[in-house]
Amino acid sequence: MTSQTTAQEPILRLRGVSKQFGAVSALSDIELDIHAGEVVALVGDNGAGKSTLVKVLAGVHQPTAGSIEFMGKPVTLDSPGTALEMGIATVFQDLALCENLDVVANLFLGHEIGPWALDEVQMEVRAWTLLQELAARIPSVREPIASLSGGQRQTVAIARSLLLNPKIIMLDEPTAALGVAQTAEVLNLIERVRDRGHGVVLISHNMEDVRAVADRIVVLRLGRNNGVFTQETSHEELVAAITGASENSVSRRRARKLEEMEQ
Amino acid sequence: MPDPKTSPALDRSDSRVRHDEGISGAVRAFVDRVRSGDLGMLPVAVGLVLIAVVFTSLNPVFLAPNNLVNLLFDAAAIGCISLGIVCVLMLGQIDLSVGSMSGLASAMVGVLWINMGLPVVVAILAALSAGAVMGLIYGMLLNRFGMPSFVSTLAGLLAMLGMQLYILGPTGSINLSYSSPLVRFGQILIMPAWLSYALAVVPGIVMLAQGLRTMRLRAAANLSNAGISVLIAKTAMLTAALLIAVIYLNQGRGVPYMFGLFVLLVVIMNYALTRTKWGRSMFAVGGNTEAARRSGINVNRIRLSAFMLCSTLAALGGVLSAARLASSSQQAGTGDVNLNAIAAAVIGGTSLFGGRGSAWSALLGILVIQAISNGLTLLNLSSSLRYMITGAVLAIAVVVDSLARQSRASHGRA
């Protein structure tokens, strides 16, 4: 899959993107390509700039330098609304759902059908269709979000990002707060989203999840690119790229364990 | 599309959900909702019955048709102010200056119309625009400087009180002519009986037509329906209640036009809050501002609209109370007007914490407040006692709101 899509023009192309907060460079010279129908994992340690990069792509922050090309055309993402309209949907780590509203209202928030006379029937039908396409298990779409479990909320958030038929969806730590079964559900969901032809950017600290679904793994370190890997890359190599050295606390710990085992 | 006869409805395919159908289902769902802390209009209904029983036993005049007509005349002005308060409470904000705003509006009508001789319509429009401008200022203070509405409206309260005293000048009071249409509207004008009966039947017809249309659409879309029996029962209950109320009021003077105007505003606001994109955005901003912003809602514009609506409705309330009292005085809008308006919204079920509420809460809440005030006046109790009792009722309402909120949280209903 990766080999055939990389030949095409990427949906999103970042070149030399930098972001500075005062004296701190959160991102410097970032390069990133995202194609249709692939899952790109963005990994890195705390403070590597993953979330800043997501916020730049979501239109929350504006880059200080560099160019962003979307479908081959240079673009400026100056607000969350612009990014959404263009076709870049984001599922934030805190999900950003309104607990006092029901599932349908949350799915269509800001994009209701019929601004002057809400078409509840059509919205409910589309909500059910979308949730069924994702094989999501939501018992009722007329219950407030507050009554849903963590995994169900994650599903609603992902379904909402798909509503406008975006080209790319970005997931910030989608499995961080979930149990084993729910994590598997979300990973299945990510694969289904990819198979629908969307580009997926997945941010996660969980190497297992990343290796389970990602077609490419992009490593960030201290705000810079630090290599692109695939599922076949060994755990050690990935950790080395993330921490910046083959000699680090993770490898030392592993070596110590190995020694103990041998003794 | 699957055949609707063989496959379950789209929203009924999950076996974990209990499906309430028919009247028994509707009753069961209602009991469940109340148990989980979603009290809705229940406390108000109970409160009104309690108030009626207590005051009637103390003074039978309370339930006399003409006393109730007076009560409705009095309720309209503060009710309008309360309707605006519902808007700002919905966002989790507050406007403490609605009393002063109404006082200033009433003073403006007096000065522009009587003292300066402008047409009354111009005076009213000027007062309403002043309200809109004030709301715009509050909204911008919040959007630009992050100034809490609690503080900005407190400042506005003082400033507008000063403005009211300033434009009224040393005499401090302007009498409005009793024969003018405005004062007649506020004191005398009553709907003819045929009109009041017609208006009592209209809501039922609209509800039935709407309900049948929704049922048809839902059936066509393979969605479940609660059943026609529920719809008919609801319509019948609503129409019966309204007809009884109107027949009773027509034993006295009848239904005031001013109260009709207030109910019309409530109905419009209810439609705007529940059936439009703007209303959905109001709930969203009140529930989770950041989520609303990220879904592309223009939060600043929603806030501006809420504050402008609130201040404009407060100004309208001021105009109506000037009409009711036939004067613009320094006392207008002072005293308990402010808190009564806020209390009415909260008593009616609009949450102080944002994201929950309804336009009807202004109507129901103001009926409670006005009934208490009216009953205490009939008992010849001094205003000192009135203040204390109204204060206690407000405290109880807020406690009920908080308890219901905790219960909802523990039942997973936000």
Residues B283 and B157 in one domain: yes
Residues B181 and B194 in one domain: no
Containing domain of residue B211, as a range?
190-255
Q: Do A142 and B11 touch (CB under 8 A)?
A: yes
* A185 strand-pairing partners: none
pLDDT in tens, chain A (263 residues): 444 444 578 899 999 999 998 888 889 999 999 999 999 999 988 888 888 898 899 888 889 999 999 988 899 988 888 888 888 988 888 888 999 999 999 999 988 998 899 999 999 999 998 888 777 778 888 888 988 888 888 889 988 988 888 889 999 888 887 778 778 888 888 888 898 888 999 998 888 888 889 999 999 988 888 888 888 888 888 888 888 766 677 777 877 888 888 77
- Is the ipTM here above 0.95? no
Is any Cβ of chain A less than 8 angstroms from the Cβ of B79? no
| Domain assignment present for B8 | no
In this complex, the residue of A100, A114, A148 whose CB is nearest that of residue B287 is A100
Smallest Cα distance from A121 to chain B, Å: 6
Sign of the Cα pseudo-torsion (B7, B11, B17, B22, in order): negative
Q: Give the tokens for residue B136.
A: 């715009």
Nearest to B172 by CA among B127, B111, B119, B102: B111
Nearest CA in chain A to B1: A129
Quick one: chain B helix, strand, coil %, rounded to 5? 75, 0, 25
Kindly state the helix (H) or strand (E) to which residue B245 belongs, with its residue range. helix B228-251
Q: Give the tokens for residue B79.
A: 């009710």
Q: Give the tokens for residue A158.
A: 């992902």
Residue B94 in contact with residue B149, Cβ under 8 Å?
Answer: yes
| Domain assignment present for B250 | yes
Contacts of B87 (CB under 8 A, 6+ apart): B269, B282, B306, B309, B310, B313
| Domain assignment present for B31 | no
| Chain A residues inside the 8 Å CB shell of B17 | 139-140
- Whole-number Å distance between alpha carbons of B86 and B33: 22
Count up the domains in chain A and report the number.
Answer: 1
pLDDT by residue (tens digit) across B345-404? 988 888 888 898 999 999 999 999 999 889 988 988 877 887 888 788 878 878 887 887
Residue B183 in contact with residue B174, Cβ under 8 Å?
Answer: no
Q: Do B11 and A128 touch (CB under 8 A)?
A: yes
| Chain A residues inside the 8 Å CB shell of B290 | 94, 96
Is any Cβ of chain A less than 8 angstroms from the Cβ of B297? yes
Contacts with B, A 94-133, CB within 8 Å: 94-101, 105, 109-112, 114-118, 120-122, 124-125, 128
Residues B235 and B355 in one domain: no
Residues B185 and B212 in one domain: no
pTM for this model (two decimals):
0.88
Residues B62 and B180 in one domain: yes
Count up the domains in chain B and report the number.
Answer: 2
Is any Cβ of chain A less than 8 angstroms from the Cβ of B212? no
Task: Calculate what percentage of chain B has a pLDDT beyond 90.
Answer: 64
> Helices B360-378 and B65-90 sit at what angle, rounded to 10 degrees?
140
| Domain assignment present for A253 | no
In this complex, the residue of A118, A137, A140 whose CB is nearest that of residue B277 is A118
| Domain assignment present for A133 | no
Containing domain of residue A26, as a range?
2-100+166-232
| Domain assignment present for A35 | yes
| Domain assignment present for A84 | yes
